[in-house]
Amino acid sequence: MMGENPTSLSNAKLNTLLWLGRKLNAAIEMEPFLQIVVESICQLTSSETSSLFLFEAETSMLKFVAAPRTSSIKLKRLRVPLEHSVAGEAYTTGKPVIINHAHEDARIYRSVDQELSFTTRSILAVPITYRHEALGVLEAVNKLGGAQYDDADLMVMETLASYAGTYLFNAILLEEALQASQALEEMEKKKNDFLAIASHELRTPLGLIVGHASFLRDMAQFDEQTQSQLDTILRSAMRMRELIEAMSNTHLGSTSQKRLKRKSFSINQMIEEVVASFSAQATQQKIQVRVDLPAESLHLQGDNEKLAIAFGNLLKNSLTYTEPGGHVLVKVEKLPGFAKVSVIDDGIGIPAADLPHIFDKFYQVESHLNRRHGGIGLGLSVAKVMVEMHGGQIWAESIEGKGSNFSFLIPVDLDQGGKSTSIFAA
């Protein structure tokens, strides 16, 4: 319509339309925006009143959502059916409806008039659509001075309807996005609660199994076969304990830095201790582990235990995902304000498509069904949480079939972590 006869609108009306268009971009709240639209209808089409309906899925009717201030309170309770109403016709056909002699037109939905003690003399209804989806209807009611609605009014109404369509569609999308993110947050919380409760409940009976099995192994004299069965029980129980620890550590991400036990510690010593705790596993798997530490012991302000868990998870993975005869290099470097720890292996590597996801909770490259390795896909996400709690950063580089390089950076002084971000940008 706009292209057909743009000169029939006065400058004042065009200015009002332009102003409304700008309002649309100003991100104002839904109610004031719709109010402006209906008030503008009266002003720009010289109408006694106007209304804005939205389709309501629960009732399959059109619901009044805005009308000029004088009538809006009453109107809000009203709904109009899609059949036998002017608004319904505009909505279902997607075309404007003009009725200039309402008293003799059967399409008028008389209940509204009766309820409001109002007489509809003329109506101009246009559908509100966005990308061919019908959202509602705009109506101008009772052209003042007994005049008839004309093409200029239609042009105004179609412009306002297209503004309303864009605005409403954006609002609907925003609402849907908000609801989706709230649902995700709730699910995340439920998952974390479940992990926290399950790991807590499993810990006690497992402690008893480990305790009693260790007692039996140390105290009683069994034959070799029974002894080896006891060892298997103990090994499996210890493995289960590791998994439970990983589960209980995953929900730490949402907690604040308050949970960090800060103290000064030697990173050289921490690395050596963790490497020593894996030396039996490395020997058994015939993997050579080399450690390259700074000559002068590097001291950090932070939580020794949490960083030992992070580093231990990287080292455990490098042993798990490297074939016998392979090599692992643990390297600690001193950078300005930071300590960098790298665990480099010449193992199976990680496919490029999986690399961006490996720090996600429960993500594993091999599917659970045909896994050759144990684990539940939490080790790296736990390591990430621990490192980020320190204001640090963790990342991985890898070439499938050649090996992987996992590194993390930790600020030497915890309080400087957030400020010294320049190195992360590099």
Q: Which has the closest alpha carbon to 337: 392, 287, 377, 295? A: 392
Instruction: Determine which residue in the list 68, 302, 375, 391 makes contact with ligand ADP, applying CB under 6 A.
Output: 375
Stretch that binds ligand ADP, among 141-149, 216-224, 252-260, 373-381 (CB under 6 A): 373-381
By CB under 6 A, is residue 321 in contact with ligand ADP?
A: yes
- CA dist 138 to 29, 39, 66, 162, 350, Å? 19, 12, 10, 10, 57
By CB under 6 A, is residue 199 in contact with ligand ADP?
A: no
Least spacing, CB of residue 282 vs ligand ADP, in Å: 14
Q: Which of residues 291-320 bind ligand ADP (CB under 6 A)?
A: 313, 317-318
Instruction: Determine which residue in the list 358, 386, 387, 410 makes contact with ligand ADP, applying CB under 6 A.
Output: 358
**Number of residues forming the site for ligand ADP (CB under 6 A):** 22
| CA 182, chain centre distance (Å) | 8
By CB under 6 A, is residue 348 in contact with ligand ADP?
A: yes
Q: Which is nearer to ligand ADP, 268 or 364 (CB)?
A: 364
Distance, in Å, from the CA atom of 213 to the CA atom of 356, rounded to the nearest integer, reads 41
By CB under 6 A, is residue 35 in contact with ligand ADP?
A: no
Least spacing, CB of residue 251 vs ligand ADP, in Å: 15
Stretch that binds ligand ADP, among 105-113, 256-264, 333-341, 345-353 (CB under 6 A): 345-353
Alpha-carbon Rg for the chain in angstroms: 35
By CB under 6 A, is residue 195 in contact with ligand ADP?
A: no
- CA dist 102 to 1, 76, 153, 185, Å? 24, 23, 17, 52
Name the 3-class secondary structure at 233.
Answer: helix
By CB under 6 A, is residue 159 in contact with ligand ADP?
A: no
By CB under 6 A, is residue 220 in contact with ligand ADP?
A: no
By CB under 6 A, is residue 326 in contact with ligand ADP?
A: no
By CB under 6 A, is residue 378 in contact with ligand ADP?
A: yes
| CA 413, chain centre distance (Å) | 32
Name the 3-class secondary structure at 421.
Answer: coil
Q: How many CB atoms lie within 10 A of CB 65?
A: 19
Instruction: Determine which residue in the list 195, 380, 389, 394 makes contact with ligand ADP, applying CB under 6 A.
Output: 380
Least spacing, CB of residue 368 vs ligand ADP, in Å: 9
By CB under 6 A, is residue 68 in contact with ligand ADP?
A: no
Distance, in Å, from the CA atom of 185 to the CA atom of 193, rounded to the nearest integer, reads 12
218 Cβ contact list (under 8 Å, min separation 6): none
Least spacing, CB of residue 346 vs ligand ADP, in Å: 10
Least spacing, CB of residue 281 vs ligand ADP, in Å: 14
Distance, in Å, from the CA atom of 12 to the CA atom of 19, rounded to the nearest integer, reads 10
Q: Which has the closest alpha carbon to 293: 346, 327, 341, 344? A: 341
By CB under 6 A, is residue 379 in contact with ligand ADP?
A: yes
Nearest-10 Cα torsion for 233, 238, 241, 246:
-130
Write out the residues near ligand ADP by the rule CB under 6 A: 313, 317-318, 321, 345, 347-350, 358, 363-366, 375-381, 404
